[in-house]
Amino acid sequence: MSYLYLKALHIIFIVTWFAGLFYMVRLFIYQTETQEKPQPERSILTKEYKRISKLLWFGITWPSAILTLIFGPLVLNSLGWALAAQPWMIAKLVFVFFLYVYQWVCHVKFRNLQKDVYKDSGYYLRIFNEVATILLVATVFLVVLKNIVSLAWGMAGLIAFTGALMLAIRSYKKWREKTNSKD
């Protein structure tokens, strides 16, 4: 298979993997916050969130993560393994490793929610949801810039981006509490 086909497939599965991760944690938030609703609404919504989560997790997210893991090394092999020794690629692979750790943590949360074990608040899950965003931003900048010096600037930007996300989450929480208290 040629390099461009491998690269296209790798990118497609990265995109579908991230789409699955982003939507999955949103479903965690919705299912968790549904527990505050009265019956029968709570049980109906919980059942539906569990069903959708299971389809998304095993039908899109895990297969995409696995196919990304297959096509990534194939792309690297077609470019030559010497590329793996470059500092920017090492940093990128570290971020990818943390993304798979994030995937595993999501899997644990998924299993808990399937068993009606609610360990996290909706607020915590909103913050947790941004971990994938941060890893995506860091990885894309490394791949596009291919420069470890730019990584320092990128990390400064990433920290600023993370701060802005946290402010947005806090602002949303305050707005939501204010809106709910008026009801």
Q: Are 135 and 151 in contact (CB under 8 A)?
A: no
Q: Please choose, from the candidates 139, 134, 132, 126, the residue with its C-alpha nearest in 3D space to the C-alpha of residue 162.
A: 134
Q: Up-side HSE of residue 87: CA atoms within 13 Å toward CB?
A: 7
Q: Is 107 annotated as a binding residue?
A: no
Instruction: Confirm whether residue 50 is marked as ligand binding.
Output: no
Residues 67, 13: contact at Cβ < 8 Å? yes
Encoding tokens for residue 181? Answer: 């208290």
d(CA 54, CA 38): 24
Binding-site residues, in ranges, read 10, 92
Binding-site residues for heme, in ranges, read 10, 92
